[in-house]
A and B are shown apart, each in its own frame.
Chain A
């Protein structure tokens, strides 16, 4: 019994610390000083480092979507609307979520490992001793990069996914290119686009803030860094999928 109470207490404490970190980061975003070079550097790191993996995942996801929905659509003789299915799934769901998961694996783990090793080697303490607030110097640039780059990468993933679907549709399913693209354009609703763009902002924030929180709370030497990295990836991935559900729920009741 006391074990459960302890766990609950720890959980509550963890959430409290997380909210506290987010609040500090937001306050630091709107007040000076800002570390401009670190922000630019992080945009580069987050965006460029994840581009390849996002391109590959997006492409193959779109392609496999076309294959699978081709099979299903054939049962209704509706093969020509394959483009519409691919684009709707990519833009609303798979683009944001898969990009989010890739970012968690690539960026979230990197952040947790980097901040974690800075904690256990006293570099975070050294920053503070030298007059720097680690939240401003380390967390804010990473959060900004995550919040901005996640939507950008999602748009890229959406696009290559639709291209992947097009390649499968024209070479495997024998759907004419004109039909594929026009079925996409005709079915492209504004609400879908909004949903596809709002989600990655939130997901980018969740991934990076969780990773920063976990990294900065690392303890227990090198082993602790390994543990923090795993926790950041697992928590981040679950967070991405859970947050995706709740945002979808909210946006559906607001927009549709």
Chain B
């Protein structure tokens, strides 16, 4: 019975699938660990197909925000909607269904170090789906090809460089074709050239696979790169090129500070902000 009432009406599904639908909604969310208040009052909305770039100093609560979306942490107050489901009160079993549409790239990759690259990338397909083995294998190869790491299939994560590990983590997150991808500092600790290859993957996924994404970073270079570039497919080859103004508007910036959202707007507004803290952060 409970199962039945959870099912979504076709009308509701249509609204969710339409362009401009809100896929992640934070409504006055708060969270504290013991005495330490991390999020005081955070509200934002991620629109389908858009990119939300969350900036903030270390310890500002960026990772915590992503973990609340995934249901890995429970908020103390406020309401969280993910993909049309209210998740802030959801039990772990019910949360698993919501997570099927979510992909997460953890801060350090969080690859399973006892599994090969192939097993990592295909984890969800092999372990948590009824997908026949050959189909899953093909999908893993396709995803690793997309990310340009086809020949590393049988390596262990410990045999990869930092940049390769991040890309494998992205491959793992995208393998089951989620609608929403969450990236936690995907380029932190990488040199600028490697960071750009990771950014390109994020852009390709967003523009060619049409996923909505939330990117947490404190590297402005990468944030602006993501906002101002787009991926295009021209006779079979994928290229990342500077985006037009309309595309750039689909990347929304937001700055977390002291438990509140200190800034919300697009790349231009962020660049020209008069706020002292933002200026310091930007310089």
Note all chain A residues with C-beta closer than 8 A to B92: 128, 133
> In the complex, what distance in Å separates the CA atom of A121 from the CA atom of B96?
21
B104: which of A121, A123, A126 is its contact (CB, 8 Å)?
A126
Per-position binary interface string of chain B over residues 97-130, scored 1 when its CB falls under 8 Å from any chain A CB and 0 otherwise: 0011011101110111100000000011001100
Q: Is A178 among interface residues, defined by CB-CB distance under 8 A?
A: no
> In the complex, what distance in Å separates the CA atom of A245 from the CA atom of B283?
67
> In the complex, what distance in Å separates the CA atom of A129 from the CA atom of B111?
12
Note all chain A residues with C-beta closer than 8 A to B40: none
Known: A130-B123, A131-B99, A133-B92. A125 touches B72 (CB 8 A): yes
Q: Is A74 among interface residues, defined by CB-CB distance under 8 A?
A: no
For A128, the closest partner residue in chain B by CB is B72
Note all chain B residues with C-beta closer than 8 A to A35: 127
Q: Is A132 among interface residues, defined by CB-CB distance under 8 A?
A: yes
Q: Are B127 and A125 in touch, CB under 8 angstroms?
A: no
Q: Are B106 and A122 in touch, CB under 8 angstroms?
A: yes
Q: Are B128 and A123 in touch, CB under 8 angstroms?
A: no
**Interface centre among A121, A122, A128, A129, by most B CB within 10 Å?**
A129
Q: Is B139 among interface residues, defined by CB-CB distance under 8 A?
A: no
Q: Are B72 and A123 in touch, CB under 8 angstroms?
A: no
> In the complex, what distance in Å separates the CA atom of A11 from the CA atom of B184?
34
Number of A residues near B (Cβ < 8 Å) is 14
Number of B residues near A (Cβ < 8 Å) is 22
A123: which of B96, B100, B113, B124 is its contact (CB, 8 Å)?
B113
> In the complex, what distance in Å separates the CA atom of A126 from the CA atom of B99?
11
Q: Is B67 among interface residues, defined by CB-CB distance under 8 A?
A: yes
CB neighbors of B among A200-217 (8 A): none
Q: Are B128 and A132 in touch, CB under 8 angstroms?
A: yes
Note all chain A residues with C-beta closer than 8 A to B112: 123, 126-127
The 6 closest A-B pairs by CB, nearest first: A122-B110, A126-B110, A131-B128, A122-B106, A129-B104, A130-B124
Other A-B contacts than A121-B110, A122-B110, A131-B128, 19 sampled, CB-CB below 8 A, are: A122-B106, A123-B110, A123-B112, A125-B67, A125-B106, A126-B110, A126-B111, A126-B112, A127-B112, A129-B102, A129-B103, A129-B104, A129-B106, A130-B123, A130-B124, A130-B172, A131-B100, A132-B127, A137-B127
Interface residues of A (CB under 8 A from B): 35, 121-123, 125-133, 137
